[in-house]
Amino acid sequence: MSDRLPLGAYLGGLRTEIDAALERVLASHGAPPVIAAPVHYALSGPGKRLRPCLTLAAAEAVAERVKIAPATARALALPAACAVEMIHTYSLVHDDLPAMDDDTLRRGRPTTHVVYGDGLAILAGDGLLTEAFGVLARWPSPASGNHRVETPPADRCLRVVGVLAEAAGVAGMVGGQAVDLDASVKDAGALENMHLRKTGALIRAASTIGAIMAGASDRVIAAIDAYARDLGLAFQIVDDVLDVEGSDAGLGKTAGKDARQGKPTFPAFYGVEASRRLAVECTERAKAALAAEELDGRLAEIADWSLARQK
């Protein structure tokens, strides 16, 4: 459509909306300053906000199908978008700890444990994970601000809680991180399985919960889930390639760390060029899943952007 914003401007608008909602959530929790500071530090880092952007974009993509305005769909999905970003941020805070990946740079800044110490970083992550579900349990949500939309049916909110819990839990993100720590990945199939849990599960959840909150049918939700499964895999492959070819300044995190630690990566198993081809194949499958249900919106463009990104 000729009247569409360029994708960069569109994503920038979503990030602005998400950041404002996250600030409202932070202002509402009444935490003592000693823990409020590291929580705010972790959550306010200049990240891509890919996951909450997917939540809002998925809600918009199904808006016409469910006969609501795109702005209404976004407003319904906004608390879920905040919840998914809070869960993602908690995972980064914990992953960076010395007992995990032992990293000192995240989103272009010192990691939370470097600034506040390990103990407060652990508690900040715990707080973000817990508060994420609180955001979904209360309506109107503190994320909503001045948005005035009809209260979504309770079964939608409950379904979203279940999707996020499974994605973040032992079968999903936590399980994938455990496999990574265990160093039990010995072949490309095991690597893909690990990342479908560690990275992919939350990307899939982020996309499907937007469609759920907007009221999409199970068939449409399944199509978006299929899209997000391949998007998440492509995203991780690109991350692995960038870790080989990027710089600390460009990536906003420590480059080359996976190779130095001997971690399993897609370039390690396939090589850089074959990994790039694999990412392209995943992206094409993701877009085909959308096309099969004739889903419009910006999700296909986001897949292309993710493939071409440099950080």
pLDDT digit string (tens) for 262-300? 788 999 999 999 999 999 999 999 999 999 999 989 999
pLDDT at residue 212 in the model: 98
User: Of the given ranges (92-96, 211-215, 234-238, 252-256), which has the lowest mean pLDDT?
Assistant: 252-256
pLDDT at residue 250 in the model: 58
Residue 249 pLDDT greater than 60, yes or no? no
Strands (E), 129-266: none
Residue 148 pLDDT greater than 80, yes or no? no
> How far apart are alpha carbons 92 and 61 in whole angstroms?
28
Q: Return the biggest CA–CA distance within the chain.
A: 52
Better-scored residue on pLDDT, 181 or 296:
181
The mean per-residue pLDDT over the stretch 244-273 comes to 75
The mean per-residue pLDDT over the stretch 152-159 comes to 93
The mean per-residue pLDDT over the stretch 305-311 comes to 92
pLDDT at residue 145 in the model: 79
Residue 2 binned pLDDT confidence (cut-offs 50, 70, 90): very low
What average pLDDT does the chain have? 93
Over its C-alpha atoms, the chain yields an Rg (Å, rounded) of 19
Domains contained in the chain, CATH given: 7-308 (1.10.600.10)
User: Of the given ranges (142-151, 163-172, 185-194), which has the lowest mean pLDDT?
Assistant: 142-151
| Sequential DSSP letters for 105-120 | EETTEE-HHHHH-HHH
The mean per-residue pLDDT over the stretch 27-43 comes to 94
The mean per-residue pLDDT over the stretch 46-70 comes to 96
Contacts of 4 (CB under 8 A, 6+ apart): 10
User: pTM for the whole thing?
Assistant: 0.94
- 259-268 long-range CB contacts below 8 Å, 24 or more apart? 263/180, 264/185, 264/186, 264/190, 264/191, 264/194, 265/191, 265/240, 266/188, 266/191, 266/236, 266/237, 266/240, 266/241, 267/240, 267/241
Residue 180 pLDDT greater than 70, yes or no? yes
Residue 255 pLDDT greater than 70, yes or no? no
CA nearest to 82, candidates 136, 8, 137, 16:
136
Do residues 309 and 246 make contact, with C-beta atoms less than 8 angstroms apart?
no
Burial classification of residue 218, based on how many CB atoms lie within 10 Å of its CB (0-12 exposed, 13-18 middle, 19 or more buried):
exposed
